[in-house]
Amino acid sequence: MEEMLSSGENLAALLKWYVDQGLDETIGEEAIDRLAPVAQQVAPEPAVAAAATPTAPTPFRPPAPSPAAAPRAPVPLESPQLVEDARTLAAACNTIDELEAAVRGFESCALKRTAKNTVFADGLPTAPVMIVGEAPGADEDRLGKPFVGVSGQLMDRMMEAIGLKRGDGFYITNILFWRPPGNRTPTLAEQAMCLAFTRRHIELVRPKLLILAGGTSAKAVLDTAEGIMRLRGKWTSVRLDDGTEIPTMPTFHPAYLLRTPASKRQSWQDMLAVDKKLKELSLSS
């Protein structure tokens, strides 16, 4: 008798433990596939009156929507179609003002949602040199102009050292028109969308000489996988749709020079090469 009482107390304690753990109902002998389509669910057989073990109820499932009523999936922001849309929109612009308006009205790039301002360009498009950087930083995003922070001031001093001032001396822009959050590396899709406008920008400005500042800019415009260490200091060219070849010099981004001052000597060599090339172009024109 004492053993039965002890056993009953143990069962009661076990049931109480189950309830405390949230196990307050029983389940059937076979598992229910809750991800299977409704049509594949097999209705449970009627329970035998003498059966002592209860079975789990069949979960309620709303009827599946018909194909005609199913909502159309939205186009993802990183869709290649959006890159094509950007190229089509850029190609339709015949002036720099039209291109700037198109960029400011472009809503498909996710970077625009987190940026404060659209950073298009600074200087005069008639300047002999066009500089294409990478992306706006915090100062550029705040003021809406490219290269206005510490790295931009260094760029101005470098260009002034060869007699070029921002405005009539050089015209400056970036691959990206919106600051990536936290200055993160832009995705390939973000670069491709903005690059569609940047290529058209170069075609409309038609500078005598192009400078690509930084690895992101150089690799995107030149469509190459080589890094800036291999590219910098070597003349190449950007071919426009009409066949025009623009002499192009890849060089370090000034932000990199601020982190590694020892590389300023190489950048100065690049600037001297730019100055020499401009004089050659002036003599031949």
Among 203, 239, 232, 234, CA closest to 217 = 232
Q: Which pLDDT score is estimated for 16?
A: 73
The pLDDT assigned to 215 comes to 94
Measured between its terminal Cα atoms, the distance across the chain in Å is 116
Which pLDDT does position 80 carry in this prediction? 81
Token pair for 121: 């360009």
Q: Using CA atoms, how far apart are residues 206 and 171, in angstroms rounded to an integer?
A: 11
What is the DSSP pairing of strand 236-239 with strand 170-174?
unpaired
At 241 the pLDDT is 84
pLDDT of residue 186: 85
CB-side neighbour CA atoms (13 Å) of 267? 24
Asked if residue 130 lies in contact with residue 207, where contact means CB atoms within 8 angstroms, the answer is: yes
Confirm if 271 and 155 have CB atoms less than 8 A apart.
Answer: no
- pLDDT by 10-residue block (mean), the chain, 285 residues: 55 69 56 54 47 52 47 52 92 97 94 95 97 95 95 96 96 96 87 94 97 95 94 95 93 96 96 96 81
Domain boundaries 80-284, CATH class: alpha beta
Phi, psi of 111 (to 5 degrees): -60, -30
Q: Return the closest-CA partner of residue 189 out of 84, 58, 33.
A: 84
In contact, 120 and 100? CB cutoff 8 Å: yes
- Please tell me the predicted confidence (pLDDT) of residue 8: 63
The tokens for 53 are 């073990």
- Each domain of the chain, given as residue ranges in start order, spans 80-284
Is-contact 110 176, C-beta < 8 A? Answer: no
pLDDT of residue 268: 96
β-partners of residue 238 are 246
pLDDT for 49 equals 45
